[in-house]
Structure formats: C-alpha cells, structure tokens
Structure 1
C-alpha cells in the first residue's frame, strides 16, 4: 500500500540528478512512491535515470515523447500517483534525511487538508533558512486567512509546491491540475485555487528541504525568453479567481501581487530582447488596467515612490 507519492519533474538535469537520486534513496520507505518524469531531456538525463532504475527498481519512471513543460509533466505524473498523500521534489534540490517522514507525521497529526513548511535556500556555499510567511505555527487554520491584504507577503504568495504536503482524500482532485499553457508561474494560480477551495491547513516548523537558488541554466525562473512572459497569464488567472470569489479584499490583494510581479520583471528587463521588452510593457499595461481601478489605487499605496513612478508609467501605456 502506498502512503505518499513524490512527483519529481526532470529536464536536462544531468548535473544535479545524481544528488537528487541520492536524496531519494536516503528518504526511501517501502510505502513511498517516487515518480520521476523526464520532460524529453536532451542531455544525459535519460541514461542517468536508466542506470538508477537498475539499482533502484522501485522507482516509477516516465518520459515524455516531446518537451511539454513542467505543468503538463506534473499532471501526467499525477495520473500515476498511488498514494493518499502527495508532495513534490525539484531535480536540483534535496531533502534532509527524515524530512518526508516528519512532514507526513505533522499532516496526519494535525488532520488538515495540507501543511506548509519552511525550507533552506542554497546559494552556492551559503545556507539560509527561509520561513513560510505565517507566524501561527502548528495550529489548524482556514486557508482563506492566509490570503491576507495588499502590502504583505502571505502563505498564498509562498509558491513552493515542495514546501508542503497534500491530502488527496480531502482535496478535490480538480485542484491538483496545473494550467498546461503556462511554461512558468503555473504554481501561482494553483495555490490561490487551493486556498480558496479547501477547508484546513497548518504551517509547521520543518526546514529539511534544500532549495538550490544558485545558477541553473535550465531554470525558467532565470530565463529571458518568451516563456518568461507567461507570468502575465498566470497572474491573470489569479485576478479571475479573486474577482470570482466576490471578495473585494482578495481583488485588492491580487492587484498588489500583479503590480509587484510586473515591477519585478520590468526591473530585470535587460535579460529580454528589445522586442520582448516592448511586449512586456504593453501586455503588462493591458493586464494591470484590467483590474478595478480602485483596487489598483489601493495596492499602489504599498509601494515606495520610485516603484510607484515606474508602475504609473506602465499603467499609462494602455491609456496613451
């Protein structure tokens, strides 16, 4: 009987995969199912997985016939998941020994739909504990209470799938699906849907997940291509969820998140071609102007003057 399924999407991960496989072996349990799905890698990833299966025959391995992206890969892997509980692992990250056991024990003890954890951010030789943005620990909470107000980072803004574990018997199966049209940022609307449509959650003091934040040329978060702009589509999904909820406070929070992510990408526009920079400006303007004007004005109050000036210029592009 499988208790926990762990989905591991992999793409051109030959550099990091041996370490990932080592952490899988170290955290293996007979009732754990590790699902590796190779998104049609072009490096030595398939050969590494093939060799690993000879030594670790209990691995579930899949390979996409073409490169689908991480969202579709996760959806495909989910159809093979057998466990009641679910979590994720990125191929360039790793677990402390026993982290899965401790997270699962916390989820079962608290008897909630899902739990969130802290993690360790790894930047070359530096290790920093990153706390989930929630001071209430080890208590049952309403997931909607973690959406919060504009101006504050809350758990709904903590978009790390692997910093959590989810009970598939208590959560609507439809909530686990990712938008396959998104090459990046698909986890952002995913968490909003989760917080709007579940009944209970908790944050626990566990930090046994090590998140590699140093240079990884295959990471979409560090890319500068057309897929980078998919964040606009992802945040449009958040806007629609917030508006559909009928809660004006959620719309204000969604507008704040939209302004924040647009400012972030505009400040890093140099990694984009001139053509993509123009697309970024015009699409961002249209997107921000799709929010109720009062929500945008409310959210803008939480930015310093320099950022308000930049965002004001972006907003005016659509009007000019």
Structure 2
C-alpha cells in the first residue's frame, strides 16, 4: 500500500490589508512601504490594480516579486474604488480585513497596536482606530472623534447601547473587520462616491461587539488636487443611491428596525452637511440636491421620529415642506448673524486693546520701582529654567527684590505656591511691565514692549548653541521658512546682559546677534543643580514617574528640524525598546515645537499605554529629567551642553547630520568632536547599549574634553553670580559674596575672561 499522505495547511495571516490602486504612482511606494516595514509582520497585502493608466500595475508587480506577502491583482477594466475593494476581499485569507487607500500610509507600529487591541478586547467584530490628516502643506490635527475613541477604553459595545459611535468617520480604512463577520453578512461596496457610508453603517449596526483604539494608525493624505471629494459636480448626487441601498438593506433585515431612526438621522445630517460644501455641490445644483434631500426625508422618516436638537435643527424643520428658496434664505440669515457676532467680538477686542495701551502709557509716566523684577520663561509657560534659578537665588541674596512672573492663563494651575504673577496683556501685566527695573527671560519679550531708560534686561538663552542662530541663519532654509531674523535682532536690541557658559558661547552670540548687550561669564543658572548633584531629588523624580528600581534610564531628547513641516520620528521607538529590554526605561522628551498632540499620538501615546516608554514631553522641569537619567540620547539638541555637567554618558544619534547642517548650519562638526559615542542606525544604537559600550572609557574621555570646552563657567554658583552682579551691584571681576553656608570652589572659573568673577 502506498504511504498515507498528510496535508499541511498554510498558516492563516492575522491581517489581510487590501489596497485598491488607481492613478497614484507618486504615492504608491510610500503606501506599500508603510505596510511592509511594520514591526508586526503576520499579514498579507492584496494590491488591486483597478486598470490604472499609469505605472501602478508595474509597481505592485515589483513589490510582489520581492516580497511573498504581496499579491498583485490586475483588473481588466476600471471598476471604481468600491468594487476594487470587493475584489480584494475575494482574495483575502486573513483573520481580519484592513483597507488602506493607496495614497495613504500606516504609522509606525500601527499593526502591532491593532493586533494587541484586538487581543485585549477578545477579537471583536469591528475595531475602529484613529487617523491624522496629512495635507500637502503640513500635517493637521487628530480626528474630530478622537475623544470618542478614547472614551471606549478597552470595553466592547453595540450600537443600540452606544449610538454615539455612529458619528465615527465614514471611511473603510479606519477599521479592522473580522473577515468571517464581514463576508458572512455579505457586505459589499457599491459603485459611485460615498461607497464607504452604507458598508460602515451596515457593519456597525450588525456588529454585536465593537471596540476602539485611541491611536493614530493612518496618515490620511489630503491631496492638493485630484481628490474626488474636492471636485464639485453631479457625481456627488451618488450619495442618495448609496443611502437608498442602506435602507434597502434594513428592509431585508427587520431585526435591525430599532436602528432605523439612528441611521435616518445620520443620513439627513450627511445630506445637509454635503449640500453646503462648495467643493462638492455647485451652487446651481443645490436646488436639485435639496429636493432630493426632501424626497428622502419624506420617504424614509420613521413613524414618531423627533428631529435632533443639533446644529441642523432649523434645517430639519424646513425639510418638512419648505421650498428651497425659503430654506436658502434661512441659512443665509444664520450666516449673517454669525458674521455680525464676529464683528462685535472684534470691536470689543479693539476697545480692550485701547484701554490697555492707555494704562501702559499712564504707568510709564510713573517712576520705576527699583525693587521690582519681572521674570518669564519659555514664552510664559511657568517658573522654569534659568529665570527660575535666578529667582530662587534672589530670594536668599536679594530679599528686597519683589519678583513677579508673567504666566499664560493655561499655565497658572502649575505654579508653585506663593508665586506672584500676572497673565499677558492684562491691566496688571501692563502696570508691571511699565514699572519694573529688572527683566529676566530666556526668550525674547513680545514685540511692542517699550523699554524705559533705567530698565535692565537679562537674557539667559535656551542653552549653548550648536545650530546657527541670528544673522548666521541668513542664507539657510531655516531662516527662509521658520525664523524671523529681523524680529530676533529687534528683541536682542533690548538686552543689557547675555549670560554665557563658555568663551565659545560668548563668541557665538556676539557674532550671531550684533547688538549692544554685554556678555556675562556667569555660567547657566539652571545648571547649578546639575553641577552640585541632588540624589534625593533624582530618586523622587524616578518614584513619581514609576521607574522600576535598578533600571537604566535613557533620556531621549531630539531637536526640531527646521526643514520639516512636521515632526518625523528619527527612531523606531517600538523596535528600540524591545531591543533594550525591560531593564531599560526610555524617557522621550520631544522639542516644544514638536509636542503637538496629534504628532505624539502617532507613536508615543500607544507605546506609553503599553508600558514600553514614558512620554515626558509635558514634564515642566527638564533638569529633573536629566538628574533622574543615567544617560542622554540626543541628536543635535543643545541639551547635550547642559547634560555634560552631570558627567554621565551622552550618545549622539546623527542619522541625518548633513541634512540638518544644510538646513540650519552648525558651529561644530559634531560627529568629529562629540560628547560621546555617535550612531547613525537603529542596529548600531541598540548594539551600543546591549554591549555595554555606551559607558566605556572612550565615552568618558570624549565627555571630559567636551565638558572642559563648553561648560567652563558652570561651577554650581551661576545663579548667585547673576544676582550679585545685576541686582546687588557687584563689579565684574570682584569677589562673589556667597551665603555663609555655600563656598565657591576653585576650578572652572580660574581662567575666566574680563567679565568673570575671581572665585573665593
């Protein structure tokens, strides 16, 4: 007898990602790459060439030839987006169906996050996730339903119990459908525009278990031209046939009758919203569109239905029988009322500004208060940085000085107890700014500030510069697109003193900002705590952040890229933290310009929720984070100059050094004279940690040379030095009078230039 044969079944992939393709050759590679480079790899890609007239077919064949996870399907004729998706479903074998339009992209780690949420929620029928709009001119914010997604947590629900979830975005690509649920109900996309709406609603009302993922998984590209949703014309009347199909589906499923009022409300609101969009319905087509809306209102209105009390409530009443001309007049009247309200607000704002200017002029006739000092930091974000260190020193050395902080209204809650403050552009603000003698800030004061004779401005800077600043930016793209050099110089014209930590920094500022200030070789006041060290403060920060005892703490602090319109992560955080292991805690602190909630939602929110890293971008004190960390991982941030005072390892990840230097310019050849090891790839970076080389002798030698050059005035007494010179009238080069309990050691200041102090 012949031996028995056994059949080996092919493993079923977790996901089938269906990508319909038509006339997107410029975007297709980025789309496919965003799928194939995911850290989660258990998927198949079904790319459906909808008879595209460009090179799309050849591109998907190329990808299919080199990656077995890609299947290329070529349709003999153009059938449209919906039916191309249907073809992809027919080829799918995965547990879950995902749809991705071929000009959009997945964010890094998206599939991993989707898989984990499906597992946590017990494999629901439908999982809905978030997206971000990526305009041709820059990235937008989170979707309008982001809070709705977040409110679901890890619970599952159905639509009758949670009807608010019918407001989720009506697209195919923000959901994962369990394949047997999707095909078992026979869901299919119909020809024409708005094909997403009926399938979305059918799936949501049929699903017994729906889950949400509060994470941005898709970058939804808003193309400058070519998008049908921004091409007005009669094709937008397809919306009526799509909803007619939805209600035909309800007629075939009487068990879903309870959902009919909910879907009727969503349908009419969709019609009303679409009719007012000039990029969809032309003005000459609106009467016909309105008549079709009235027809659908009368045909499908459920018995006993009560119109919603929402933004369209007036229009709902008119649909019961008003002709289009009356409807149009009512809508125009509402728009005129809104315009009138805006005009009133503008007039009130103008009158308020006039009153404040009058208060300021009146106060400037009064003598200066010799004991009043105004502090601000980071554009009024709180008691922070160098100004905070100077304020603290003044409380001991110059108690007669009355400090007042300028703080934004949204930052007042975070102020320490006992802080005297004013909020910007209020009468109190104008009184203080007109009468104070001392002004301390780490960024420029707002333009329009009138500096009176006798007022003293101290500028602390935001650290030692690496990238070009001021006039040195001219000729670089950063100045062309991001930095107003003239405004920077106008602000620096107010300065009396500029604080520096080294001769290098003094020379840079004198060159970059050709103004009439005097450089003070004081060191950076905020670095006093780093030079002195504070073990108890570091331990307290670790406990508050929940860092396990004994873990190595890596502080990752990248700088802003002026040549980028939005934040582009330079590291694959998901991969890095998995390579480093559970005994390493990664703290991620983005640059303030990159701290937008939408951007952080792309990666950090999800990884933080899974316990893979800590997003500390909103932590008020970067000094606390430096004290709590064991090493700094950065690229070109000036934070490296401050961190060197701790004498702890610094790693520079310089994967785009040439691009950064071309966009902004740099005063140092950083890779040639770094403060520690330099990496350019994620593998090299991970190996540096796993091998232990991150804190070797070579790293220590580089750090010592770096610290000697750039931290020469930082000795732990910088804040006291500023107060003694500026507020107590000590002479440059004189003996620094410290409190009895503090002694100033010899060392870094022994060779200070003419404006330094002779240390005790």
Match of 1:96 in 2: 107
Say whether the 8 Å CA contact 2:128–2:213 is kept in structure 1. Answer: yes
Cα distance between partner residues in 2 of 1:267 and 1:3: 42
Q: 2:177 aligns with which of 158, 166, 176?
A: 166
Q: 2:139 aligns with which of 106, 110, 126?
A: 126
Alignment of 1:277-296 (within 5 A): 277=286, 279-292=288-301
Cα distance between partner residues in 2 of 1:294 and 1:123: 43
1:197 matched to 2:197: no
Q: Give the 3-state SS of the residue equivalent to 1:5 in structure 2.
A: strand
Say whether the 8 Å CA contact 2:130–2:174 is kept in structure 1. Answer: yes
After alignment, is 285-294 or 235-244 more displaced? 235-244
Q: Give the 3-state SS of the residue equivalent to 2:45 in structure 1.
A: strand
1:238 matched to 2:246: yes
Say whether the 8 Å CA contact 2:127–2:177 is kept in structure 1. Answer: yes
Q: 2:194 aligns with which of 176, 185, 189?
A: 185
Match of 2:161 in 1: 145
Describe the superposition over 1:20-68 as per-residue Cα deviations: whole angstroms up to 9, x where unpaired: 1221221275531001101111223223323333443531011211111
CA shift in 2, pair 1:139/1:316, >3 Å = same
Q: Give the 3-state SS of the residue equivalent to 2:160 in structure 1.
A: helix
Alignment of 1:50-89 (within 5 A): 50-89=61-100
Describe the superposition over 1:111-133 as per-residue Cα deviations: whole angstroms up to 9, x where unpaired: 12221112222223123122163
Describe the superposition over 1:163-209 as per-residue Cα deviations: whole angstroms up to 9, x where unpaired: 2212224x1524353243x3122221212221222221211222122
Match of 1:151 in 2: none
Across the aligned residues of Structure 1 and Structure 2, the Cα RMSD in angstroms comes to 3.0
Which has the bigger relative contact order, CA under 8 A and spacing at least 6? 1
Cα distance between partner residues in 1 of 2:314 and 2:117: 43
- Structure 2 unaligned blocks of 5 or more: 1-10, 326-760
Cα distance between partner residues in 2 of 1:59 and 1:247: 38
Question: TM-score, normalized by length of structure 2?
Answer: 0.37
After alignment, is 79-88 or 281-290 more displaced? 281-290
Number of equivalenced pairs: 308
After alignment, is 191-200 or 12-21 more displaced? 191-200
Cα distance between partner residues in 1 of 2:14 and 2:282: 47
Q: 1:22 aligns with which of 22, 33, 45?
A: 33
Q: Give the 3-state SS of the residue equivalent to 1:53 in structure 2.
A: helix
Cα distance between partner residues in 2 of 1:191 and 1:288: 21
Q: Give the 3-state SS of the residue equivalent to 1:77 in structure 2.
A: helix
Q: Give the 3-state SS of the residue equivalent to 1:299 in structure 2.
A: coil
CA shift in 2, pair 1:224/1:315, >3 Å = same
Larger Rg: 2
CA shift in 2, pair 1:16/1:198, >3 Å = same
Cα distance between partner residues in 2 of 1:236 and 1:138: 34
CA shift in 2, pair 1:292/1:214, >3 Å = same
Cα distance between partner residues in 2 of 1:13 and 1:310: 42
1:260 matched to 2:269: yes
Cα distance between partner residues in 1 of 2:293 and 2:170: 21
After alignment, is 43-52 or 298-307 more displaced? 298-307
- Structure 1 unaligned blocks of 5 or more: 149-153
1:12 matched to 2:20: no
- CA shift at 1:5, angstroms? 0.7
Alignment of 1:220-235 (within 5 A): 220-235=228-243
Q: Give the 3-state SS of the residue equivalent to 2:299 in structure 1.
A: coil
